[in-house]
Structure 1
Amino acid sequence: MRNLFAFIYRFRAFLVFLLLEALCVFLIVRYNTYQGAAFFNSANRYVGQVLEFQSGITDYFRLTNINQSLASENAALRQELMQYRQAALIDSAAELDTTYVPASDTTAAPPYNLMAGHVINNSVRRLNNYLTIARGTADGVQPGMGVISPEGVVGRVKTVSEHYSTVTSLLHSQMLVSAKIKKDNTFGTIKWQGGDYRTAMLEYIPLHVKPEKGDTIVTSGFNTVFPEGITVGTISSVEQEPDKSFYTIAVKLSVDFAQLSYVYVVENTRKEERDTLELDAGILPDEQ
């Protein structure tokens, strides 16, 4: 305290000068319209720049929460979109079958639920690639659930802990996805054969079909993992090899696996019922 008083006493003249200068500026701004307007306009500009800088720093450290919030919102919107697609398919069936009577229960649970998950580990350069996402049993994730992104098919959940899950990537030598050519509903199987992580093969397309470069490939809906109509990619090349009953078709995958950040885990609320029925009938799933 003694040092403070000594400092004030030593610079008393300068401090009085600053006080009088501040008083003069206040009086000029307070009682002169032009000077007051100029001062407040300048002050607002500099204060605005400081606040904008501060807001930028705050938003940067909030990006994780913001991204998670946006991913959850997108999951809800995509789930609603899939419900509309499902309803459209039911309406189409009703138009073809005049004896069909649609269900009147509008409160029935939707066939698919989506959960957003952050990708925390990923590989694309191995023969068998996997992802790890920050979602687990505590969030309702179970082995066998499908995983998609806003761009298309990603893979299938393999193992689950309380807060994390590993996902068998589409870039896996044993991963098969039932797919179809969107324009004519000809179905085949998508399989990645290694090498370029942006290209997979569409197998078992017969020669009487006329696939073309640029055709869109989507999931067929023939399994309980992926909803029908999820984008897989577009045909990049079509070859007809001698002594083969099927085309050799390369597909450019819609998902860039090297840049995955957020994905959606797909829960099929009717999977258990369908799996039980098909198992009882002796039908074993051979691809997803």
Structure 2
Amino acid sequence: MEEIYNNAEDDKSHYLRPSTDQTGSRSSERRLTVADFLCLGLLSVFLVIGLIGLGVHLASLTEERDQLKTSLTEMTEERNKLKTSLTEMTEERNKLKTSLTEMTEERNKLKTNLNELTEERDQLKTGLTEMTQEDNNLQSLCQTTCPDGWTKFCWSCYFLSTERGSWTKGREDCRTRGADLVVIHSAEEQTFFSTFINTRTWIGLNDRDNEGTWKWVDGTPLTVTNWAETQPDNGDGYIKVGEEDCVQLLDGHSSEWNDVSCAAPLPWICEKPAQP
């Protein structure tokens, strides 16, 4: 027990009595602590500087980000405006294309109408030229003269006999005068006779070759007629006087036509071309 106690005291005194080694060790520990402190201080300074730099850089990045966001927003708006403008321009282009198509169709129609009008104008000019030529010819004919005792109407001369005879005798007399019984081919000529003749008179119309087929002495068919009411009747009236194959002009303002027997004694009217 006592030994143990002594050992314990020795151990205690050992702890209570510092040794030279322990003092040097503590001094060394104190020196390490100051160096560490200085390192930590420098590290802290560097850390602060780094944090400040990072803060500045972060602020710069934040500002740049905000600028980029603003630029992105502006570019997005500009893009949307450009898309809207592109849509409007596309619609306007389509409208212009439609208008161009319509104008092209209208131009083609106008060109077609112009060609038709040009062709019609040329035809009218040709017709006018022909009519002018015909008018000149007619005026030239109308400037012709007739022998004494003959009446002139445009390009023909007419002679009204003062004697009477059959249709055949009247035609023979006309031929001796270089003419023939009158042939009526226009309403104007018919109207002329209504003022020129005031008695029943032979004209150059008959159906002696074929009953009902009337033709002029020059062989031409009828183009103008002026038959009196119920005529021609070939003598089927109240008094039957035989075949009625020759035609006379009735007296009066209308000078209507009537078929009568070719042997009836009537005056006649001759026709021949006027002479220049």
Using structure 2 for the length normalisation, give the TM-score.
0.26
Structure number with the bigger relative contact order (C-alpha 8 A, sep ≥ 6) is: 2
| Bigger share in helix | 2
Which structure has the bigger radius of gyration?
A: 2
| Bigger share in strand | 1
